[in-house]
Amino acid sequence: METHDDGQAVETSVETGDEMPDQVDVLITRTRPSSTDRDPADPDPDDLELPGYARPDDAGADLRLTEDTVLRPGERKLVGTGVAIALPPGYVGLVHPRSGLAARHGLTVVNAPGTVDAGYRGEIKVCLLNTDRDATITLTRGDRIAQLVVQRVSRVNFVSVSQLPGSIRGSDGHGSTGGMPVGSTTSRPADAGPDPHQGAASTEQQEHSS
């Protein structure tokens, strides 16, 4: 912790020594089922670690799973994190997937980033999606399943006008800077052999149509 000439305390990065943005206090509490709904055999909510940062300069605080969960290939599921927060006015919480889980297992967040508004006081829940076509993902209570990034947000006043001012880009949309044309799909190399997922997809389509 350093102090400016004006007496204001300023945090510095542990790794680089650079000045860091002001920290903000976020109130947090554990969510608990009502006494009538709780099973005595359920784990103690206090045993679950609160969200925290793995490294000093990380942007996202890890959110943990409250109960063992299994996601079959292609399945999505809304899961709890066991915590609720009160953000200061002018801030928002954004729930992002964890890159390691996404890269290794294909586990992601459906509506990434999920939005936690400053006025929300309920449990933070995460809608997970297993994007792997073949493998089932098994998660254990306490696993880190997502990251919460807290940042400032501006509210805007929408002003209705008959015409917008011009810009260099104009109305050019998807694909306007090049790359893969809009509507195109990737194709398998000719020597790649049959697609191992094609049969599974056909079977799934038949099940839905029957």
Helix (H, G, I), strand (E, B) or coil at 84: strand
| C-alpha dist (Å) from residue 103 to 72, 108, 127, 185 | 17, 9, 18, 22
DSSP β-bridge partners for residue 99: none
| C-alpha dist (Å) from residue 58 to 108, 148, 172 | 19, 11, 35
116 is in an annotated binding site: yes
Read off the tokens for 31.
């969510």
130 is in an annotated binding site: no
CA distance 12 to 5: 15
115 is in an annotated binding site: yes
CA distance 83 to 180: 42
98 is in an annotated binding site: yes
CA distance 64 to 47: 11
100 is in an annotated binding site: yes
Q: Would you say 86 and 150 are in contact if contact means Cβ atoms under 8 Å apart?
A: no
Binding residues for substrate: 98-100, 111, 115-117
Q: Residues forming the annotated binding site?
A: 98-100, 111, 115-117
